[in-house]
Amino acid sequence: MPKDSERLGIYVVVALSVVALAVPAQLQGARQGWVNIGPEQIYAWDLVEGPSNPNQLYIAAGGPGVYRSTAGGWTLATTGLSYSYCEHLAIDPSDPKTVYAAFYLPGFPGWSPDHGFLYKSKDNGWTWSLVASTWGGILQIVADPHIPGRVYASVRRTPGYVIDGDDRPYALLVTAGDNWHSVKYSDSPAAFSVFPHPRMPGVILGVERTESGDTVCKSGDHGESWVRVTKLDTTVSKLAFDSLDEKRIYAASAKGLLISTDGGAAWSTVGSGLGAGPIRSLNVLQDGSLLLWQDQIFQSSDRGETWKSVTEIDSEARSFIPSRSKPGVFYLLAGHTVLKSTNSGEEWNAVTRGLTGYSVDSVAAAPSDPKTIYLVSQVEAPPYDIFVSQDGGGEWAKLGFPSGHATSPIIMVHPEDSNRLYLASSQQISVSTDGAKTWRTTRQSNQEDGWLGGLLVDPRHPDWVYASYNSGLERSEDAGETWKRVSSEVKASSLASHTASGALYAAGESGLRWSKDNGATWQVLKEGKTLSFVIDSTLDPTIYVFDYSWQKLEKSIDGGKTWIRADFGLPSSVGQMVITPENVVYASTSSRGVFRSDNGGASWHPVNLGLGSGRTSELMAQPGDARLMYLGSVVHGLYRFQTVPGSQLAFSALLESETTLTGFAVSNPQPDPSSLQIIARRANGQLVVAEKNPRVIVLGGLQQLALTGQELFGTSSSEPVEGWVEVNGSADRLAGLFMTLGPDQADGAQAARATSSQLCFSRIHHGPEGFLGQQAVTRLFIVNPNNEATECALDLYRGDGTRTGGYFRGVIAPGGLLSGSIEELFGVSSINGGYVVARVNDPESLVGITGFELVELPKAKTRFGLQAADSVFLPDGYSAQVASVSGAQTRIRLVNVSEEKQRVKLQLYAATGALLAPETELELGPRTAFDEMAANLFALPPGQPPIGSLRVIAAGAGILGDVVFGDFQAFERLAALRIESAGLTDATFSQLANGLGYYTGLALFNPSNRATEVSLEAYSAEGNLKGQTVIQLPAFSRISKLLVELIPETVDQVRGWISLRSSHPIAAQELFGTDSLLAAVPAARQE
């Protein structure tokens, strides 16, 4: 009997070894992301230390969220957090890996109440999940020292809102696990704080604040019931318990230190050496000594009887936190910094490395000195600060902010002088000639001006500066010293100078306009309120414009004469955009981070690796080098764009049972070896329980790995497995494919290397006659390959554009999978020719999803699969192979996912580049689908070979599609592919099979009016070059042949991979087959 891998034409080629990997990596396309470069200042509210590890530290920050200590400083720990204003932290003493964080979200008076949110982390703060929320703020969180998982949260509720049927202003919430309930209410408008006894299980003291003084309360049953013990004539901020005497308790009060020796019933003022002022902090250390903060820091070694001064600290500080286990180590939260002392307060040093809490309002890099960066920022609210870095963000110097500027400041740098700067705001324009050390006001604004935020330093005229007001556009021709009006019609919030054409562009309330005479006259290119735009560097430029009125991104490839939408998969609110020399477009968003498109806006993918949140303020490219980008964020400082070495792949389906196998192939097209981490995950994101999961493989340069899931992980065919597979490689450009295999049936898709916020599953066939009269079952697989949970929404449409009423809303776990049949997900038992739109439903999510659909025809014993579509045609789509011969026919399907009618032209090209038949034109209504046999779409002349390549030309945006190949009479051999939305010049086919009854075929199509040269190289699994060929493809020509016809050396080769390079973009696809099955996969793009 052949091995399982032989049934797929693949063999074991590399030895395997075991590794451990706990959390999924974040799939980010070409592993692009961001590194935070400061400035390092923060407004911290709380700092907590691990109960047994003094190096386990966490900071709660107003704005950024949560930080945890690392060897090099601090690291933002916000994965899974939806809110950013963290006020309180607590560590579970019985399980120090468990951390709790309380967040505050202010409401709007008269509209919505304040909210408090409590999050829990089980992995030292790396990932978080929401466990409770309440109307009002959370004043305190405390973990019970005796019962793991039991936590107390003191809540200040918004007046008029009810918790558990009670509307009194304060409540104490308790959890045992993740199920919260209220155990105590306070009738008075005062706080309630709790302090569990560290050595008496079940005993908790509480302090209930009233207008006439505080009341000490006590519980003996872990907070479930309470009795009032005594009334005090002062307020108490904290209780602490003696290390020796269980009944001895200390209270930090507004009148000094109070001590009780009877468990809290009676209290007296003691403490020789202390004053009568309020105690701001009180701590009992592990050695039994006490530290308190009054007007200075005092220490007692005799249980509070006598005190000596240790050190004085800043009276403006907010919190004093001594280390419980490291004598003499103190932390101080003061101003916008965190201070640490290792010698009992004699010396203090800032420990802020990695703490970035500034909101960036404007950033500018000096064109003449790329390492000089200026930014205007604030912590939480104005006043503003100006920072300068002269080493690319390594170190920052804080400079003074000129007086007179109050709102909306923008900073710019002279093109030739890095010390000459311009600062414009609603109030005035200032100029600095000494690198922002001093400033002079050169233009004062008046009430009629109405500053719009448009400021431009013209690179063509270094001393020319433009500023845009509601009253018109002004220009300075002497480096900002004097100003004059050049136009009254332009009202622009953004301005740009196009070097290639010499034109000025302005966008804002007056739409998008351009001027060829330095702003004297203007021509309208696009009406509407334009929030932002970007122009490439070509003479007849491509322009992207975000229309604020209609919340849509549009694109023009003819300098603004015609426009088409280009925002499929892009969140609605777009900020700034950047175009690189390679025509890759990056767009910042208001709450979802940054998205990238490498196909002219046909698809968008999140590139947010390293970001603390998705709230961005400015995206800027280094003048002269658009590949060096900076991202200003809200409350997380400034980020620099970076490419992380390595590759990440997601194989969207792992199906293993007695009747089904999944084969995986990974190719390394680079000469250097790559270490692979391969992990099989279940639907909940946890590892599949298997003997060899996870694994590590060293894949040599130019080598290929090909295994089934059973061979790779050691799963058993008698125990069904459903999940997905994650691959993390140390080398760039890794490519992969997977194939599901049943009895005489197979199909698959390429491994995903990028995620999207929106997907379309274009073929939904389900029910007794779901596919051309055949019984059909469609299963969807949606992968969240990220280390945070993702809320996902799915909507099911009929082919006529109407919703079925079936929809799905749910959360996919970190590293998890949502899978199920159409009936399981939507409750719909029968649908023929529908489609599903899936989207990330969290308005602040930084991540995306990827997916795969599998259509099975049980009675025909065949199946076909499709990668979920993440792109639309802009304007073209291509399929390199369309056939209309007996036993090998093609169905063409188009879906209009837009809300507008779309006209589409279909062209079928012969090998010569001529049309096989007259083009066909269709109109698709909003949200509708079209599905037809190719033979019925094209009137082929007699004697014309009915094999060609398809080109789809869409008049507007929103069209996507697929093709299904095979036998539509007996339904014995079927395979499917997406109609590709962009050509490729560098690609990989990760598997070939020309033995054991298998054949491999390639189809190539040149969809342009230029001739192109295509180079093909076939490699063995061991990395040896087996053969190569060069193919000349004239304009619009095509070729489809068996691989052995193109590269004869591949005869009998049953493993390996193929490299494709083309001088111009082409469409390419690969088919595998035997006498009884057919499978198809697209090429993996390497650009």
**For residue 145, pLDDT beyond 70:** yes
> Which of 713, 730, 750 delimits the end of a domain?
750
pLDDT band for position 216 (cuts 50, 70, 90): very high
Residues 214, 110: one domain? no
pLDDT value of position 275: 78
Domain that residue 670 falls in? 4-24+645-750
pLDDT value of position 14: 26
Mean pLDDT value across residues 477-503: 94
Question: Where does 383-424 have alpha helices with state H?
Answer: none
Percent of the chain residues past pLDDT 70, beyond the cut: 94
pLDDT value of position 917: 93
pLDDT value of position 110: 59
Q: Which residue has the higher pLDDT, 666 or 1081?
A: 666
Residues 611, 649: one domain? no
Q: How far is CA 1017 from CA 547, 1001, 1048, 1052, 1053, in A?
A: 46, 14, 12, 16, 14
Residues 609, 626: one domain? yes
What's the whole-model pTM score?
0.88
pLDDT value of position 172: 74
Residues 585, 662: one domain? no
Instruction: For residue range 712-737, list pLDDT tens digits in order.
Output: 999 887 889 999 999 999 999 999 99
pLDDT band for position 13 (cuts 50, 70, 90): very low
Buried b (16+ CB within 10 A) or exposed e, 983-1010: bbbebbbbbbbbbeebbbbbbbbbbeee
pLDDT value of position 22: 37
Specify whether the CB–CB gap between 747 and 867 falls below 8 A.
no
What's the count of helices (H) and strands (E) in the chain, helices before strands?
A: 5, 89
Instruction: For residue range 83-128, list pLDDT tens digits in order.
Output: 888 999 999 998 999 999 999 888 766 566 778 899 999 999 988 8
Sheet with 268-269, strands from edge to edge, namely 236-241, 249-253, 256-260, 268-269
Residues 53, 165: one domain? yes
Specify whether the CB–CB gap between 554 and 542 falls below 8 A.
no
Instruction: For residue range 979-992, list pLDDT tens digits in order.
Output: 999 999 999 999 99
Residues 706, 590: one domain? no
Instruction: For residue range 663-687, list pLDDT tens digits in order.
Output: 999 999 999 999 999 999 999 999 9
Instruction: For residue range 263-316, list pLDDT tens digits in order.
Output: 999 999 877 888 778 999 999 988 889 999 998 999 999 999 899 999 988 878
- The span from the first CA to the last CA of the chain, in angstroms, equals 41
Residues 164, 247: one domain? no
**For residue 238, pLDDT beyond 70:** yes
> Which of 587, 615, 642 delimits the end of a domain?
642
Residues 283, 322: one domain? no
Q: What is the CATH number of the domain that holds 694?
A: 2.60.290.11
Instruction: For residue range 417-435, list pLDDT tens digits in order.
Output: 999 999 999 999 999 999 9
pLDDT value of position 821: 97
153 contacts: CB under 8 Å, gap ≥ 6: 102, 116, 118, 132, 134, 138, 140, 141, 142, 172, 173, 174, 175, 180
pLDDT value of position 922: 97
Mean pLDDT (the chain) is 89
Mean pLDDT value across residues 379-404: 88
Residue 291 lies in a domain: yes
Residue 355 lies in a domain: no
pLDDT band for position 26 (cuts 50, 70, 90): low
Buried b (16+ CB within 10 A) or exposed e, 632-645: bbbbbbbbbbeeee
> Which of 603, 627, 642 delimits the end of a domain?
642
Residue 937 lies in a domain: no
Residue 377 lies in a domain: no
Residues 637, 654: one domain? no
Residues 213, 298: one domain? yes
pLDDT band for position 325 (cuts 50, 70, 90): confident
The count of domains in the chain is 4
d(CA 610, CA 36) in angstroms, rounded, equals 8
Residues 303, 320: one domain? no
Percent of the chain residues past pLDDT 90, beyond the cut: 67
Give 444's strand partners: 428
Residue 492 lies in a domain: no
d(CA 10, CA 23) in angstroms, rounded, equals 29
CA 362 to chain centre: 23
Residues 267, 157: one domain? no
